[in-house]
């Protein structure tokens, strides 16, 4: 969990590739296939998902927000992967979210993993509402300017605090 937390906090792509390869060696497979196999074995639908690497940097990767959210929901419901949630950076507190959510109600309440490629931005994680409800989300924005897309995602996830 310590290595996963370090990887997630700072979006360490080299570490992500190394962890993916370790899983692959353990399973006798390639890193992308091992990841898909583990997801399928845990009951997640991977149809339509293509992974070319473990870091998310390849433009050949295709993953649906529904799959990302299903994994987060399982963790939020206390499933076997619940420790995953503790690896996510806190909004305006650390890692890739350190300089985000400064003036938004999600500050300190959103925990999420970011993803950024040219004209693509992603945010997937959880937010705890004012009433104590925990919501999961997975947002992807393609073919858009990065900064406005990030702001829109931060604003949307912050709005969930009211519910």
Arithmetic mean of pLDDT, 129-154: 98
- pLDDT tens for 4-36 read 999 999 999 999 999 999 999 999 999 999 999
* pLDDT tens string 36-62: 999 999 999 999 999 999 999 999 999
- The yes-or-no verdict on residue 1 having pLDDT over 90 is no
Residues forming CATH 3.40.710.10 domain(s) in the chain: 64-163
| 3 state SS of 150 | helix
CA distances from 50 to 41, 46, 155 (A): 17, 8, 29
Q: 98: exposed, middle or buried (C-beta count within 10 Å: 0-12, 13-18, 19+)?
A: middle
| C-alpha distances in Å from residue 67, one per residue of 2, 72, 76, 89, 107 | 24, 9, 14, 20, 25
Find the mean pLDDT for residues 78-100: 96
Query: Residue 7: which residues within 8 A CB-CB, separation 6 or more?
Result: 15, 16, 19, 87
pLDDT at res. 39: 97
Tell me: the pLDDT tens digits for 114-134? 999 999 999 999 999 999 999
The DSSP-derived string for 20-84 is HHHHHHHHTS-HHHHHHHHHHHTT---TT-B-S-SSS--TT-B--HHHHHHHHHHHHTT-TTGGG
Q: Taking 90 as the threshold, does the pLDDT of residue 79 lie above it? A: no
Highest CATH level, class, for 64-163: alpha beta
Quote the pLDDT of residue 57: 95
DSSP state of 149: H
CA-wise closest residue to 150 among 103, 105, 115: 115
The arithmetic mean of pLDDT across residues 95-107, rounded, is 98
| Contact of 127 with 49, CB cutoff 8 Å | no
Q: How would residue 102 be classed by pLDDT, with cut points 50, 70 and 90?
A: very high
Mean pLDDT, residues 75-96: 96
Question: The tokens 């339509």 sit on which residue?
Answer: 48
Compute CA 10 distance to the chain's CA centroid, rounded to the nearest angstrom. Answer: 12
Determine the average pLDDT of the residues in 141-148. Answer: 97
Structure confidence at residue 163 (pLDDT)? 96
| Mean pLDDT, rounded, of the chain | 97
């Amino acid at each position: 969990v310590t290595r996963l937390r370090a990887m997630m906090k700072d979006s360490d792509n080299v570490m992500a590739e190394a962890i993916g390869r370790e899983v692959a060696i353990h399973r006798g497979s390639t890193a992308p296939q091992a990841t898909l196999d583990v997801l399928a074995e845990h009951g997640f639908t991977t149809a339509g998902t293509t992974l070319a690497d473990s870091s998310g940097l390849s433009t050949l990767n295709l993953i649906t927000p529904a799959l990302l959210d299903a994994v987060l929901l399982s963790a939020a419901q206390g499933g076997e992967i619940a420790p995953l949630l503790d690896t996510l950076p806190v909004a305006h507190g650390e890692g890739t979210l350190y300089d985000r959510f400064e003036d938004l109600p999600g500050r300190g309440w959103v925990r999420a993993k970011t993803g950024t490629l040219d004209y693509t931005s992603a945010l997937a994680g959880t937010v705890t509402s004012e009433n104590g409800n925990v919501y999961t989300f997975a947002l992807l924005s393609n073919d858009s300017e990065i900064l406005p897309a990030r702001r829109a995602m931060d604003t949307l996830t912050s709005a969930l605090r009211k519910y």
